Structure 1
Amino acid sequence: MASVANILLVEDDPLASAGLDLALTRLGNSVTVCESGESALRRLSERRPEIVVLDVMLPGIDGVEVCRRIRAEDSLPIVLLTARSDDIDVVVGLEAGADDYVVKPVKPRVLDARLRAVLRRVDQAPGNRSTHGDLVIDRGTMKVRRSGRDVALTATELRLLLELSRRPGQVLSRRQLLASVWEHDFLGDSRLVDATVQRVRAKIEDVPSKPVFIETVRGFGYRFVTP
């Protein structure tokens, strides 16, 4: 199998990191392991991986803060490792800019599949350009501009915006968005959708609490609207 990705794995549990390192390497990836947030940030300043797998509970700088610091400077894909699916750290981590999360203990093939899905979102580049008021979405160059200025979106944020804007006025359920953007089945988590919508709104809306482009359809999902 060809190499899938250069992965930075940030995990302080030596047994967990050794197991994931070995398994992900056998699946064709190149893995670098860091045991703390501080060492991970130093490593990132020296060499940029293709994707970061980041444990939430780290000594010193925790995973959420590492995620926040990465996202302040880079759209690098980030997948969180968390001990509980209902942990508040999941929500905080998603709001900090993570693209996805998995619950430990995780089977290496499941994690590998999630990483592949996130990286596919980086690579996908459908054609065409659409204009919605002062918001321009260029599907060929994978760029978004608002009032003539570039909008910095992560691959996941961009994929979500592309999916919603593909059919203006049509309501898409959270389950539909999980399937099309995250490639999740019924095991997906709607918090991924809600947190990413909030992040996109913060970047394209004048008043995120009163959105013009992405409307919430209560009890169902979201709809993209051209002003």
Structure 2
Amino acid sequence: MSRAIVTKVARATLRSLQGTSRNTRITSTPFAAAALLPRATVPRFYSTAGPNGNMITPDKQPVQPKEEAAPTVVRAATELTDDEYHKLADQYMDRLVTHLEELQDEREDIDVEYSAGVLTVSFDDGIGTYVINKQPPNKQIWLSSPKSGPKRYDYVALGDGQNEKEGTAKGEWVYLRDNSTINQLFRDELQIDLSMPVGHYGEEEA
């Protein structure tokens, strides 16, 4: 039923009532008129909230609250004495040189040189040369990549307590800007897995 028809019916009803009972005062407001109409003509109001208080979208699907993102793990460099730094850095550099020299024996496109604490790894297929060296004043290991540029790695212990930072197996050299490690860089840029045990390539060829 249209709004105009509803209004006419309401006015006619009011005039009829006023004619039968002059002592009764009836207020001609929309709500009063609506109260006199049949139930089917009374407008209804609907809530936009779902059964659990969630809002309803136009397609009548409740909007679920967004889940909070997991907190980002923030790493910090481990405080090292000069002796601890040299021990950890030398252990890592020695293992890195051994691993890459072993890989050099299996591949003709790699040239590895280690002199005066500077390790260079060159690739003949146009990749370029990686340079890795200790940086004692900052207690870091520096790496220059032809693909991603220079990076400075700090030693980060994986456990709490001073005794747990001894040995490279319980810590990593980490680029603190993005929490990546030297091992990850070699894996991502060169597909070389430095986490494999020394001797892996020779055993693979046997």
When normalised by structure 1's length, the TM-score is 0.26
Structure showing greater radius of gyration is 2
- TM-score w.r.t. the length of structure 2 is 0.28
